[in-house]
Structure 1
Amino acid sequence: MLAWLRHSKIAMWGLTIIRLYLGFAWAKDGFEKLTGPKPFDASGLIMGAIKNPVTAPGGAKAFPLYDWFLTTFTNNGHSTAAFSFLVSWGELLVGLGLIFGTLTLAAAFFALVMNFSYLGAGVVSVNPTYIILGGLLLISGFNSGKIGLDRWVTPFLRSKMPFLNNDISVK
């Protein structure tokens, strides 16, 4: 299955459809956050996650490390400007990267980081679906960006930075 995802032309077209779907969803959300009538503010989400952490059956915190991270890096929810900036621009840039097929693997990785962050904060919404689709893009490697600018960007970057020539061989 992995070899098919990484080398098949049929998979390449299917991955392009998935990439475009996710790209437009991320770009739309990021664009709305950046151009909305009020600037996007992540403090409500962060305060909710700090005050009401996700709990596992039995009452224990489900994501104690994520709860610690949010509490520590937002000064107990009082300093959320950096997160608001990162979420808005991160969603837009991930979306554009996926739409244009530029640095597709990096965009898919950071999309997954945001999806897992939202899940850690207790927001389920479309995140499980996006995780599955983003994971498919990520494990498909270069094939997920072949119909896009990665067709030219990736070989150029690999010629300038040899450490990027370390593809996993799939048999």
Structure 2
Amino acid sequence: MSTTEQTPSGPTYIEEPAVARWLFGSNRAAWIWLIARLWLGWEWFQSGWSKVFGGDITLRFWDWGDQQYGLTGDGNIGWVRSSGDVDVGDSVAGFAQGAIEASEGPHPDVAYGWYVDFLEWVRDTAHPWLGPMVAIGELVIGVLLIVGLFTGIAAALGAVLNFSFVFAGSAGVNPAMILVSFLLILAWRNAGWYGLDRWALPLLGTPWFRGRLRSRRREQGAPEPEADSGEAQTPPS
């Protein structure tokens, strides 16, 4: 079987291996991405919940009821809520300030001057609206990944946030989340098979594929074909 496909006047397409087609395009491999999707989604959901509602939630049901866990709390102060001398977005400003301080010295954690300029802008100007946007964004990304809706887009947005933390010198779990996000982006066709993408993608389609909803609207709004002017018209009886 040929591994290339050459068009008369276009580029040459190299056929992907069968294992890649199975892994990134088959519904039989969707259970793999379900596990990855749920793990990544929970990481974002847990982080976003704390920033939006202030609580510290856990899947360890044996810890439910402990004082350190709860649905609500003070964890959202500085993100979406102000209290005392702490205003909305101050947590982002504090994070940016810490990263700026870590950019000094012979071995800085922040290695790019342009990103230091960006962090200074966040600290001085953008933190009042960037704090709530990050908090709500993390929560929304987590929900989308867990329910399997727009999985590839959610994973891409999450990777952008992860990279912003890594550029600021914060590693932690971010590299692992970036790796899983890239794999989910590659598997966008089947990563949400055990989720809402199973119905949403065929219905809504993509920029390069017309979904059933768009096709139905086009059929309903299509004008009637005009008769050929070269043909004789049959007069009404």
User: Would the TM-score normalized by the shorter structure come out above 0.5?
Assistant: yes
Q: Which among 88, 113, 117 is matched to residue 64 of structure 1?
A: 113
Question: How high is the TM-score relative to the length of structure 2?
Answer: 0.61
Q: CA deviation at 1:62?
A: 2.1
Question: Considering only aligned residues, what root-mean-square deviation do their CA atoms show, in Å?
Answer: 2.3
1:44/1:16 Cα in 2 relative to 1: closer, same or farther (>3 Å)? same
The equivalent residue for 2:134 is: 87
1:3 partner amino acid: R
Distance in structure 2 (CA, Å) of the matches to 1:126 and 1:61:
18
Long gaps (5+) in structure 2: 1-18, 55-73, 80-90, 211-237
**1:47 correspondence with 2:93:** no
Distance in structure 2 (CA, Å) of the matches to 1:13 and 1:71:
43
Q: CA deviation at 1:61?
A: 5.6
Q: CA deviation at 1:81?
A: 1.5
1:78/1:157 Cα in 2 relative to 1: closer, same or farther (>3 Å)? same
Q: Kindly indicate whether the alpha-carbon contact (under 8 Å) linking 2:103 and 2:109 is maintained by their aligned counterparts in 1.
A: no
1:19/1:69 Cα in 2 relative to 1: closer, same or farther (>3 Å)? same
Q: What's the secondary structure of 1:144's corresponding residue?
A: coil
Q: Kindly indicate whether the alpha-carbon contact (under 8 Å) linking 1:54 and 1:122 is maintained by their aligned counterparts in 2.
A: no
1:152/1:54 Cα in 2 relative to 1: closer, same or farther (>3 Å)? farther
2:124 partner amino acid: H
Deviant stretches of 4+, over 3 Å: 54-57
The equivalent residue for 1:78 is: 124
Distance in structure 2 (CA, Å) of the matches to 1:103 and 1:95:
11
- Which one has a larger percent strand, Structure 1 or Structure 2? 2
Distance in structure 2 (CA, Å) of the matches to 1:127 and 1:83:
19
Q: Kindly indicate whether the alpha-carbon contact (under 8 Å) linking 1:2 and 1:139 is maintained by their aligned counterparts in 2.
A: no
The equivalent residue for 2:50 is: 32
| Equivalent residue pairs, number | 159
1:54/1:106 Cα in 2 relative to 1: closer, same or farther (>3 Å)? farther
Q: Which among 197, 207, 226 is matched to residue 163 of structure 1?
A: 207
Distance in structure 2 (CA, Å) of the matches to 1:12 and 1:47:
42
Question: How high is the TM-score relative to the length of structure 1?
Answer: 0.82
Long gaps (5+) in structure 1: 167-171
Distance in structure 1 (CA, Å) of the matches to 2:200 and 2:48:
24
Moved more, 133-142 or 104-113: 133-142
Q: CA deviation at 1:54?
A: 7.9
**1:11 correspondence with 2:26:** no
Distance in structure 1 (CA, Å) of the matches to 2:94 and 2:26:
44
The equivalent residue for 1:169 is: none
Distance in structure 1 (CA, Å) of the matches to 2:196 and 2:156:
17
- Which one has a larger percent helix, Structure 1 or Structure 2? 1
Q: Kindly indicate whether the alpha-carbon contact (under 8 Å) linking 1:15 and 1:144 is maintained by their aligned counterparts in 2.
A: yes
The equivalent residue for 1:111 is: 158
Q: CA deviation at 1:43?
A: 1.4
Q: Which among 173, 179, 187 is matched to residue 126 of structure 1?
A: 173
2:111 partner amino acid: A
Q: What's the secondary structure of 1:145's corresponding residue?
A: coil
